[in-house]
Amino acid sequence: MIIEQEAHHTNTHLLTTEFEYAAPGSIAETLALLRARGDEARVLAGGTYLLVQLKMEQLSPRSLIDIRWLPELRGRSFEDGARLGANETIRAVRDDAHIQAQYTALAEACAAFGSMQIEIMGTLGGNVCNGSPASDTVPALLAFDAELDLIDPDGARTLALADFLRGPGRTALRPHELLKSIHLPLPRPGTGSAFIKISRVVADLAKASVAAVIVRENDRIVDCRLAFGSVAPVVMRARRAEAFLIGQAFSTETALEAGRIASEEIAPIDDVRSTAWYRREVAKALTHDAVQLAWERSTGQQANGREADRAVVLLTPPPKRVMRPVAADEYREIKLVVNGAAQRLWVKPNDLLINVLREKLELTGTKYGCGLGECGACTIHLNGRPALACLVLAVAADGSEVSTVEGLQGADGKLDPLQQAFIDHGAFQCGYCTPGMLMMTKALLAENPTPSQDDIRDYLKVNRCRCTGFASIVRAVLSTVEPNGTH
């Protein structure tokens, strides 16, 4: 269960809130639209948080402005520390070799997300702007002293992340403001970092999390930042624990004492995920483990840091998808290629792709499970990448290629080798869950033709249902890689 607030409304397969939709082609157009629409507009990035809020009727904006395709919000550059475009996906940040080497805690925070589909769809900017104290990336960003590049119709400003976080779901973002990019200073030589999250199950938000950044000189800690998630109204630094560690030689006792101090500094509450008591207790262990790991990594990262000093700029070329505003009650024609066949469909802004596939195209293999991004039953491929059809607006998919489970079967009716392997290995969850498992494993094999068992489990982390076994699914996937099923 990922939703943070209480639901106000019964969840149905429809998105009942009505809104205008627009996909501007530049920041300038976006800012003009934001100014024109005033407080009634919201920007839509990956949609993995916003569309759930709309579905649950926790928000009802009159206008959604899709910023996913804005070229100015994309890209990762490493000329002066790291500058990460707000629209970089969690998965892209997780996989970036420079982030892994220099900002290890951030890569680990991205890998700690409860769902691979959310990692692929969700953005770093969305994770920061939703202001959740349970966000996974924010503790790591805070521990690296991140600054935010913000822009609104009146100009640009830079704000420390620490000053941006105001309370649960509240930030210092102004009504017409966009987060453009996030800047992380270059770590000092001798820096090591780690992120650790504890949650009820893998596919969940944190009960508690910590990011530790340590700077080491010889046998001493000369600088240290500890940032905690899910233990206070905002992600917070434990400054007394940091001050205690600075100047100390590392030892188990020192790390344990830092944990004890941190557990007194945090301000946890009882909620559906945990109790305040447990959070205080587990914060001690998390601090110890993260400080130790960061310390152990601090030697290695010196070398990596030097290696990565070279100016490197990686830019993801943005697909251009512009759409002039579509009124809330207007039908707009979209073009899709679904399982290889061109389709023209008339949709309203609040039509979800899952319903268009199931009801207009009668592709009922894509299942409606939770409708909130939590089960993976609705997984399709959107432009070759897994996506949750229950969290995609059909209008926003205009121009896309879509594959559903029906498309796995060849034109001659022959099953895909992966489908056959599922049959041969009895690798089934129920009829709701199996199509999503197939679409995910197909995507995994396209991305990584020789996955390990751990790769398979990680990729399918949100699809795993507790009512059946998972071992036969892993065996089935591995059997398509090596015929004898061993790996």
Ligand X SMILES: Cc1cc2nc3c(=O)[nH]c(=O)nc-3n(C[C@H](O)[C@H](O)[C@H](O)COP(=O)(O)OP(=O)(O)OC[C@H]3O[C@@H](n4cnc5c(N)ncnc54)[C@H](O)[C@@H]3O)c2cc1C
Where do contacts with ligand X occur on this chain (CB under 6 A)?
2, 42-50, 52, 67, 73, 86, 90, 113-115, 118, 122-123, 125-127, 129-130, 135-136, 173, 178-179, 205, 373-374
Dihedral of CA 211/217/221/224: which sign?
Answer: negative
Task: Label each residue of 386-449 as H, E or C.
Answer: EEEHHHCECHHHCCCEEECHHHHCCCCCCCCHHHHHHHHCCCCCCCCHHHHHHHHHHHHHHHCC
Cβ distance to ligand X smaller for residue 123 or 191: 123
Report the distance separating Cα 16 and Cα 27, nearest Å: 29
Task: Assess 463 for contact with ligand FES (CB under 6 A).
Answer: no
Cβ distance to ligand X smaller for residue 235 or 477: 235
DSSP string for 344-390: EEEE-TT-BHHHIIIIIS--TTS--SSSSSSS-TTEEEETTEEEEGG
Shortest CB 209 distance to ligand FES, Å: 23
Spatial CA neighbour of 183 closest among 206, 210, 209, 156: 156
Spatial CA neighbour of 212 closest among 238, 234, 186, 230: 238
Shortest CB 228 distance to ligand X, Å: 14
Q: Exactly one of 369, 386, 407, 451 binds ligand FES (CB under 6 A); which one? A: 369
Cβ distance to ligand FES smaller for residue 114 or 325: 114
Report the distance separating Cα 232 and Cα 276, nearest Å: 10
Task: Assess 375 for contact with ligand FES (CB under 6 A).
Answer: yes
> Phi and psi dihedrals of 329, rounded to 5?
-105, 15
Q: Which of residues 32-61 bind ligand FES (CB under 6 A)?
A: none
Neighbours of 187 (CB within 10 A): 26
Shortest CB 174 distance to ligand X, Å: 10
Cβ distance to ligand X smaller for residue 50 or 395: 50
Q: Which does 353 bind (CB under 5 to 8 A by kind): ligand X, ligand FES, none?
A: none
238 Ramachandran zone, left/alpha/beta (phi>0; psi -120 to 50): beta
Shortest CB 123 distance to ligand X, Å: 3
Q: Which does 376 bind (CB under 5 to 8 A by kind): ligand X, ligand FES, none?
A: ligand FES
At what angle are helices 471-481 and 417-424 packed, to 10 degrees? 130
The DSSP secondary-structure symbol of 221 reads E
By beta carbon distance, the residue nearest ligand X is: 126
Task: Assess 69 for contact with ligand FES (CB under 6 A).
Answer: no
Helix (H/G/I), strand (E/B), else coil: 245: helix
Cβ distance to ligand FES smaller for residue 106 or 353: 353
Q: Which stretch binds ligand FES (CB under 6 A): 79-87, 252-260, 293-301, 374-382?
A: 374-382
Q: Exactly one of 142, 378, 473, 474 binds ligand FES (CB under 6 A); which one? A: 378
Task: Assess 238 for contact with ligand FES (CB under 6 A).
Answer: no
- Interacting residues toward ligand FES by CB under 6 A: 368-371, 373-378, 388, 390, 429-430, 432-433, 465, 467-468
